[in-house]
Each structure stands twice: as structure tokens, then as C-alpha cells.
Structure 1
Amino acid sequence: MKLAIISDIHGNLYALMKVLEDIEDQRVDSIICLGDLIGYGPHPNEVVSMIQRRNILCLKGNYDVSVVSDSYAYIRETPTNLFALPWVVNELRAANKFYLDSLPLSINLEFNGKTIKFVHGSPKAINEYLLEDDDNTTSAMAELKEDILVCAHTHIPCIKEFGSKLFINSGSVGKPKIRTPDATYCILDIDRDGNSKAIIRYVPYEYKKIVKDMTMLKFPSSLIRSIENGIE
């Protein structure tokens, strides 16, 4: 079973389109999205529509929850979010808000004898950061009942073994924090014997297109620069 795991698209249609093209080349069996379809980028409705048209299995992200509830309960009240949240709340169609609100917070699947838990932030909280060397990540993996934990939210991809368990963060399609504008996603391959192999793929895209759209819509320059340079 070969899975493509995407997350944190954040309203970046151009990055999503390029990643989906790359996924087609990888000949995967299925695609799973870990949430945060919207926020920051100028294409929230287009991104949600594309995920729906592709029938991609999808979780709810913390920014998705914040937009649906029109509150800062799950995101930081930063200058960027003081612009981005109300902008998306106003822009997102009611049907797309209903879709995001209906998404699950986690999914458990089993392939070839391997159990996998998919979450946006952590098994405990939708907005908890799990960085590979942090104590809370070590604790989460010690408490994990499944064989593999797959998360996102940090926008920083990684793959790390914790004993016999595998930790994966798929990174971000639309707003990476890796000092490059390249989109990232994960390919998880579990063979018939239950052996697991994961890789992070880095996908360049024409980020100047989204920069142009954001500039025309008068998005904050700091937000535009974060898309250009991959730095928060």
C-alpha cells in the first residue's frame, strides 16, 4: 500500500496543483490530507473544491476550525492572523465551511498489518506542535498504541523512528517553514510483509503566481515574504 500524505495547503492552489501532479507520477494507491486547507493563501474556495472533487480523505486542521468558528481559539492572535482569519472567514463559501466543519479530527487505518494514526497536530490536541526532538513528541510516541503516527501542523517535515514505532510529519504543501518555497509531502509505502518506508518529497512550483495574487489583493507584505522565502 502506497499512500501520499499532504497537509497545510493554506489556500495555495498553485502549490496544491503541482503536488497533485507529482503524486500522480508516484503511482500511489490513495491520498490522505491532514487538514488546514485554508488560511494565509488567497484561494480557499478553490482548494476546498479541489480536495472534494478528488474525493481525498481529509482531516480537520486547527486553521479550518478557527475559520468555521470565527475565533482565535486554535491559532495565535498574531498580526498575520489578525488579517488572514477575517479575510478567509469573509471569503469562504458557506458550503465549504460546512464541509470543513464535518471533517474528523483523526483517522485510524490498518494496511498490511501496520496500524496508523493520522492527526493534524497531535493525538491530544489539534494545535499541538510535535517537533522530532521535543519531549512532548517522545511522550506521544511512548503513549501511541499504533505502529505509526502521521501528523503535520508544524510545516516542518521529518521522519524519525522511536523504537519500533515510526513518527512522520508531512510538512506543508502551501506554506513551508524550511527556508525555501518548495511544497513538501510524504509518501508512505507499506509492503505486503508490513515493512514501512517513508520519504519526504520536495516539489518546486511557480510561487511567483501566488505572490502576484496576494499582492493584487493587498495581503500584508510579511505574509507574502513568508511564502517567498519559506520562513515564518
Structure 2
Amino acid sequence: MKLAIISDIHGNLYALMKVLEDIEDQKVDLTVCLGDLVGYGPHPNEVVSMIKRKNIPCIKGNYDASVVDGSYTYIRETTINSFSLPWAVNEVRAANKYYLDNLPTSMTLDFNGKKIKLVHGSPNALNEYLLEDDENTSKVMELLEEDILICAHTHVPSVKQFGNKLFINDGSVGKPKIGTPESTYCILDVDKNGNSKASIRRVSYELKGLVKEMQILNFPNNLIRSFEEGME
């Protein structure tokens, strides 16, 4: 069985459309989303609508929660967020905020006998960063009851084995932090014997169109550059 995992779309419809096209080519059995549909990009309502229209199971991200709250509850108070958060709070429709507010904070799947835990940040918190070589990640994996942990939030994809447990971060569809503007997502393949293999895919999208829309909407230059450069 093949599972596609996407996350951190952040209002970037151009990136989401291209990634979904690529997923269709991979002939997966299920696509799931690990949250952060909104924030930063200019298409929050369109992204939510597409996830709903495609019936993609989704969990809540930290930026989703902060847009619902209208405060810095789960995000850092940075220069970029001082623009992005109030813009998204004002832009996201009430019905979409209701949808985001009612998303679960985790999901558990069973693929061919492999138990998979899906979270946005970590099993402990929506906004905890799990980087593959950090001490907190090792502790989380040690305590993990499932066979596989799949998370997001860092916008940095990675796959690492911790003993007999597999750690996956799918990266970011809409706002990667890998030094290039390419979207990333993960394909997890679990065969009938329970053997699992994870691969990170990179997808290019129409960046120029996104940038033009952001400029028309008077988005700050430092926010636009972060999309162009694939950086923080």
C-alpha cells in the first residue's frame, strides 16, 4: 500500500496543484495532509477548498490553530508573521476557520500491519520541531508506541531509522526551507509483508505566478524572498 503525505501548504495553491498532479502519477492508495493549510501565501481559502474537495484527511497545524485563535498562540512573533498572521486572520473565511478549528491534532493508520502515527509538530505539541539529529527527536522515537512516526512543521524533509522504528518528516508543499523553492512531500510504501520504504519527492511549480500575486497584494519583500529562495 502506498501513502502520500503532504503538509505545510501555507496558502500556496500553485504548489498544491502541482504536488497533487505528481501524487496522481504515483498511484497511491491514500493521501493525507499534516496541516498548516494557511499562513504566508495568498490562497488560504482556495487551499482549504481543494483539500476539502479532494476529501483528503487532514490534521491541524500550528499556523492553522493560530489563525483560528487570531493570536501568536502557536507561532513565533517574527517580522514576517507580524504581516502574515493578521492578513490570514482577516482573509480566511469563517466557514474555513470552523473547518480548521475542528481538525484533529493527530491520526493513526494501520498499513499492512504497520502502525503509523501522524502529527504536525510532534506527539507532544503542535509546534514542537523534530529534526532528525536532535535529542528531543530521539526521545520521542524512544517513547513511540507505533512503528512509524510521520511529522511536518520544520519544512525540512528527512527519513531516518531509530532502531526498529522509522522517522519521517515530509517537508513542505508550499514554503520549503531547503534552499530551493521546490515543494517536497513523502511517499511511504508498505508491502504485504510489512516492509516499509519512504522516499521524499521534489516538485517544481509556477513560482513566478505566485510572486506576481504576492506583489499585487503588497506582501512584504522579505516574505516574497523566502518563497523564492526556499529559506526561513
**What are the superposed Cα offsets for residues 143-187 of structure 1, whole Å, 9 maximum, x if unpaired?**
000000000000000000000000000000000000000000000
Listed as ranges, the matches of 1:99-118 within 5 Å are 99-118=99-118
**What are the superposed Cα offsets for residues 55-114 of structure 1, whole Å, 9 maximum, x if unpaired?**
000000000000000010100000100100000000011000000011000001111110
Q: Which runs of 5+ in 2 are unaligned?
A: none
State how far apart, in whole Å, the 2-side matches of 1:56 and 1:231 are. Answer: 27
Match of 2:180 in 1: 180
TM-score by length of 1: 1.00
Match of 2:125 in 1: 125
Match of 1:25 in 2: 25
**Off by >3 Å, runs of 4+ in structure 1:** none
Match of 1:216 in 2: 216
Match of 2:91 in 1: 91
Match of 2:7 in 1: 7
Alignment RMSD, CA only? 0.4
2:35 maps to a residue whose letter is G
Tell me the matched-pair count: 232
**What are the superposed Cα offsets for residues 11-51 of structure 1, whole Å, 9 maximum, x if unpaired?**
00000000000000000001000000000000000000000
State how far apart, in whole Å, the 1-side matches of 2:75 and 2:204 are. Answer: 27
State how far apart, in whole Å, the 2-side matches of 1:200 and 1:185 are. Answer: 6
State how far apart, in whole Å, the 1-side matches of 2:37 and 2:231 are. Answer: 19
State how far apart, in whole Å, the 2-side matches of 1:138 and 1:68 are. Answer: 31
1:42 aligns with 2:42: yes
State how far apart, in whole Å, the 2-side matches of 1:169 and 1:73 are. Answer: 23
Match of 2:193 in 1: 193
State how far apart, in whole Å, the 2-side matches of 1:7 and 1:128 are. Answer: 15
TM-score by length of 2: 1.00
State how far apart, in whole Å, the 1-side matches of 2:74 and 2:93 are. Answer: 21
SS in 1 for 2:160: strand
State how far apart, in whole Å, the 2-side matches of 1:200 and 1:169 are. Answer: 9
